[in-house]
Structure 1
Amino acid sequence: MSHSDNNDFLTQDYSMYANQFSYLGFPISRNLASSADTVIMGVPYDLATSGRAGARGGPAAIRQASGNLKWEGFRWPWQFAVDEVLTPIDYGDVEYFFGDSEHMLEQVEATASKIVKAGKTLISFGGDHFVTLPLLRAHAKHHGKVSLIHFDAHTDSYKEDERYSHGSMFYHAPREGLIDTESSIQIGIRTSYHRDDHAFEVIDAHAANNLSVEEIVARIKARVGDNKVYLTFDIDCLDPAYAPGTGTPVIGGLTTNKILQVLQGLKDINLIGCDLVEVSPAYDQAEITALAGATIALQFLYMIASKRVDSPL
């Protein structure tokens, strides 16, 4: 039967570009009573950005770029198709009053809390990195204090004078009791921070570029142990050669290849939620950054699904 003869044919299962309204063509739904076990949610917010604005376009760009990933089925080197194991939906974007950061905080926390309380695993797309603060608040409500795995060029642990800043989330989160810094780790850091009183373990960019994938994975696992883990990935952890479309690019970062291998090595951690932030399509070239973000998000899905498969890799 030709595609045109089948009225029930869904183009998202076939085309890499037609009807690309959701991440990987997953059903667009807000039905949390459904059998869905994983939820994709966008937070198009960038009012806390210190450098170049534009990350509010990140969720849409990531969804659009994900069309390039649909054809493969089993995403190499995984040995299964993620949508044969998980039942994901795309919740769409959180709405908030434009220009109102406080309303964004309220809406993201409330929406994420509802999703997590329903027993779903939430993967969020920013937006600038400030959106991680309300996401952590929502996850901590349900899971209690969690360990944080944080990929970034910046520690984002700065005590800022500004009320809303994408450099202050991990200053506030430990003080709010959301994360345990003694079992949390930051990877790819290559900007200044107060090392003497910095509570997070850091694998800086020089170390991350020189260590093997296995050594990085071992250090992360040793730090977080069996704790519940929230993973946050700022796309500027990657070198600008691999992610030019971001607000505060810093040279000397990691390659996409190494990051994918590290995430694959972390498949056994107790991952309870994650986000991908700071994709700013206005500064992207040929969707390089958006594609990197979409592919990293797919690794998140595989990490979640891998625990249900006998031979994931």
Structure 2
Amino acid sequence: MLASLRLAAAAVVVCQAAQALGYIDYPVGIVNTDAYGALNFSAIFAAYGGDKSNARWTRSDFNGLTSFAHAPPVRCFGADAETEYDVAVLGAPFDTATSFRPGARFGPNGIRQGSRRININHIHVDAKLRLTDELEIVDCGDVPMVKNDNKVALRQLELANAALLSSTALRSYPGKSIAKDGKFHPRVLTLGGDHTITLPLLRGVAAIYGPISVIHFDSHLDTSRPRQLPDSPWLPCEEQPVGHGSYFYYAHKEGLLAADNANIHVGIRSPIDSWQKYMDDYEVGFVISHAYDIEEVGWKGIVKRIRDTVGDNPVYITLDIDVIDPGMSPATGTPEIGGFTTREIKKILQGLAGLKVVGADIVEVAPDYDTQAEVTQIAAANIGWELMALMAKTPLTE
């Protein structure tokens, strides 16, 4: 009891000394409401061990909103539309074109939850840089995609993504931009959503940069040719809808993909219903690196295959979380055993440093199937961190 009293007395002395030194100007007494307007919230909200001035805190700040890796939340399509940035994080809550388990509409929120341990202001040790020294990164929130009409929802995403891409980036760089108009444009990291969202996203980047090489991390090819079957529920005159297994077929038809098979699938390991799928895939413009190749050539061999395929082309990286083994990322719509480990995917991505990444997405995260430890969401968030590091390392110049 005596020890407790001495500790309490010591705490009072320390607190009084801190106030005397002016560290925090607390009001005198809880009923002295007139003094609340003078509170120094920059000091009160300062992070432990951080800069006590913490000038970023103002009365206009909002605390508690979960943005990706603590990126500033910006109303990119509203009051903050004139704000300039270099990378925009955009959520695409869409899962009504899946073929198995739905739930990826909650992926954007889940990935943001998984990113709470990450901070864009921290140093990326492997990349040897601080993201915010190279890029102004903001979180634009989610596109409000309708839930009962896929065409409308995908159109909403296409227009939103195009609006972000068409603006001018905050930073410019020595040398000529690779964009067709010669300007420097923001890059977008999209959090899906099922994999169908990649089609409208590719339309946006191709409009700025022309046909691009795609690096596609997935356990499935996603180049299926839509076809009418004898027992199809669609009438002969009805168009086959795009889905998360056929969007690359449409991207090829629209001329969005780089020519000469300069696009690559990485991590493929799913069953197929016919060898024709592989022939169709080559016609769409891809080469294939299977998941099990890593057992023979290692992560460096996978990186070499990717680099040999895309060359010096501008690249778009799309990553289905099911490229990772379901033992490490179970929360996805179409899991396939035998995938990469999280360490392997990090090493492969880091091995792509120097490529001109014009945009990226992370898709098929369905949080309802995750463990209580949020392992899939954490893995997806860290992949986003790696993708932004690639963007930070290489400006989009010729």
TM-score normalised by length of structure 2: 0.72
Deviation, 1:163, is 0.7
Corresponding residue number in structure 1 for 2:234: none
Deviation, 1:6, is 4.2
Corresponding residue number in structure 1 for 2:382: 295
**1:52 paired residue among 87, 98, 101:** 101
Structure 1 residues 197 and 40, CA gap change in structure 2 (3 angstroms): same
Q: Confirm whether residue 260 of structure 1 aligns to residue 309 of structure 2.
A: no
| Residue pair 2:70, 2:118 contacting (<8 A) in 1 also | no
Structure 1 residues 56 and 9, CA gap change in structure 2 (3 angstroms): farther
Matches for 1:239-278 after TM superposition, within 5 Å: 239-278=325-364
> Match of 2:41, SS?
coil
| Residue pair 1:11, 1:19 contacting (<8 A) in 2 also | no
**2:64 paired residue among 12, 16, 19:** 19
| Residue pair 1:20, 1:63 contacting (<8 A) in 2 also | no
> Match of 2:336, SS?
coil
| Residue pair 1:38, 1:88 contacting (<8 A) in 2 also | yes
Q: Confirm whether residue 7 of structure 1 aligns to residue 41 of structure 2.
A: yes
TM-score normalised by length of structure 1: 0.91
What is the RMSD of the two structures over their aligned residues, measured on CA atoms?
Answer: 2.3
Deviation, 1:180, is 2.2
Deviation, 1:143, is 1.3
Corresponding residue number in structure 2 for 1:311: none
Identity %: 36
* Structure 2: distance between partners of 1:269 and 1:262: 13
Q: Confirm whether residue 110 of structure 1 aligns to residue 159 of structure 2.
A: yes
The structure whose RCO (Cα within 8 Å, separation 6+) is larger is: 1
Gaps of 5+ in 2: 1-22, 27-38, 49-62, 168-184, 228-239
| Residue pair 2:92, 2:145 contacting (<8 A) in 1 also | no
Corresponding residue number in structure 1 for 2:192: 126
* Structure 1: distance between partners of 2:309 and 2:211: 15
Question: Number of residue pairs matched?
Answer: 306
| Residue pair 1:53, 1:280 contacting (<8 A) in 2 also | yes
Corresponding residue number in structure 2 for 1:86: 135
Corresponding residue number in structure 1 for 2:299: 213
> Match of 2:292, SS?
helix
Cα deviation code 1:196-215 (max 9, x no counterpart): 34311100011134322221
* Structure 2: distance between partners of 1:71 and 1:94: 22
Gaps of 5+ in 1: 309-313
Deviation, 1:159, is 1.8
* Structure 2: distance between partners of 1:254 and 1:171: 25
Deviation, 1:76, is 3.3
* Structure 2: distance between partners of 1:280 and 1:3: 46
| Residue pair 1:235, 1:279 contacting (<8 A) in 2 also | yes
Structure 1 residue identity aligned to 2:339: G
Q: Confirm whether residue 196 of structure 1 aligns to residue 279 of structure 2.
A: yes
Structure 2 residue identity aligned to 1:24: A
> Match of 1:279, SS?
coil
* Structure 2: distance between partners of 1:124 and 1:298: 12
Deviation, 1:32, is 4.7
> Match of 2:117, SS?
helix
Structure 1 residues 6 and 81, CA gap change in structure 2 (3 angstroms): farther
| Structure whose alpha-carbon radius of gyration is higher | 2
Deviation, 1:77, is 2.0
